[in-house]
Amino acid sequence: MIPWLSPMLEQLFVEAALETLTMVAGAAAIAILLGLPLALLLHATDRGGLAQNGLVNRPLGLLINAVRSTPFIILMVAIVPFTRLVAGTSIGTGAAIVPLSLAATAFIARLFETAFREVDRGVVEAARAMGATRPQILWKVLVPEAMPGLIAAVTVTLVSLVGYSAMAGAVGGGGLGDLGIRFGYQRFMPEVMASVVAVLILFVQGLQSLGDWLVRRVRRR
């Protein structure tokens, strides 16, 4: 498959790629599931929102900012007890998904919130005038109208997760980044490093193109 790598390295490479995929996909799925309600909550409780409430909005905003401003490598070791509680262990690919999800949730919640803010207020007002309930406004107006922005946010998050997942080696999470450090850097095997970087570039390009294509498909403007 990759001619300049030995069969054994090739085997390691495939495993590492699958680990990266697992971490990125798992963390992204959890981040979307948790980030969407968080972003809706942030948006609704914001000033002038559907359920304006500073007592919810400000602490939530602070918490999200705190998670976002903690360097990922530190966040990962800082929440080890929490990781152990959730995943049963603090090492391995599965365990790495916990801090990755946390970082990605905070990240995507902000991006989603921005996407909701882009939705024309007039459309929300029209829905209110029609007698829509708040859940109806959230799910039938805000989410569909913000869809291009939401998809773009997922794309950016996926790309960031690819980067974060390279640090997961620190907790035994494996993945391509870890392979690159251990073999490419520590064992002076530049061909491994180059292969890792090349595959990651292709992977990110693919994600971005897919995301852009989806955004174009759902954008009706």
Partner 1 sequence: MPVSSAPPDPAIRLRGLKRHFPGRGGVTTRALDGVSLDVAAGEIFGIVGRSGAGKSTLIRCVNLLERPDSGAVTVLGQDLLALDGRALRERRRGIGMVFQHFNLLSSRTVAQNVAFPLEIAGVPAAERAPRVAEALALVGLAEKAEAYPAQLSGGQKQRVGIARALAPRPRILLCDEATSALDPETTQEILALIRRLRDQLDLTVLLITHEMAVVKEICDRVAVMERGQVIEEGRVFDVFTQPRHPTTRRFIADTIGHSIPPGTVARLPGPREGEERRLLQVLFAGPNSTRSAISEASRRFGVDLNIISGRIDEIAGEPFGLMALAAYGPAAQIEATVAWFGELGLVVTPVEPQAEAA
Chain contacts with partner 1 (rule: CB under 8 A) = 120, 122-123, 125-133, 136, 140-141, 144-145, 147, 218, 220-221
Contact 112, 39 (CB under 8 A): yes
Query: Which residues make Cβ contacts (< 8 Å) with residue 88, sequence separation at least 6?
Result: none
Query: Which residue lies nearer to partner 1 by CB, 49 or 92?
Result: 49
Shortest gap between Cβ of 218 and partner 1 (angstroms)? Answer: 7
User: What's the residue count for the chain?
Assistant: 221
Shortest gap between Cβ of 130 and partner 1 (angstroms)? Answer: 4
Query: Which residue lies nearer to partner 1 by CB, 44 or 141?
Result: 141
Shortest gap between Cβ of 119 and partner 1 (angstroms)? Answer: 9
Query: Which residue lies nearer to partner 1 by CB, 8 or 129?
Result: 129
Shortest gap between Cβ of 120 and partner 1 (angstroms)? Answer: 7
Query: Which residue lies nearer to partner 1 by CB, 7 or 122?
Result: 122
